[in-house]
């Protein structure tokens, strides 16, 4: 039991050290914890996707779009268009 604890601690420490030097980041794509929960719920994610597509103009103006059947709404943080490099 003690050996296992020692081993686990050591591995965690080494992993942390390796992560530090290899500059590891968990989120290469920005998805917050709340965002992850929403995307895991396929029905809710579909509703949000529909709301974004339908409310394109409203989003551009910076207004909130309520998601029907839920108590949440969405906002545009900002937007940008990128031409292919």
Residues that bind other proteins (CB under 8 A): 20-25, 27-32, 34-35, 38-39, 42, 45-46, 48-49, 52-54, 56, 59, 64, 66, 71-85
CA 54 to chain centre: 22
Token readout for 70 is: 């839920």
Residue 58 CB, nearest approach to other proteins (Å): 12
Instruction: Decide: 56 and 76 in contact? Cβ < 8 Å.
Output: no
Residue 14 CB, nearest approach to other proteins (Å): 15
- The span from the CA of 26 to the CA of 30, in Å, is 9
Residue 8 CB, nearest approach to other proteins (Å): 23
């Amino acid at each position: 039991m003690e050996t296992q604890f020692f081993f686990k601690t050591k591995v965690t420490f080494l992993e942390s050290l390796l992560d530090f030097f290899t500059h590891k980041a968990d989120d290469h794509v920005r998805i917050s914890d709340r965002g992850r929960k929403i995307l895991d719920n396929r029905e809710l994610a579909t509703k949000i996707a529909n709301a974004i597509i339908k409310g394109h103009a409203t989003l551009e103006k910076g207004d909130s779009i309520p998601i029907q059947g839920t108590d949440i709404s969405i906002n545009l943080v900002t937007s940008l268009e990128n031409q292919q490099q």
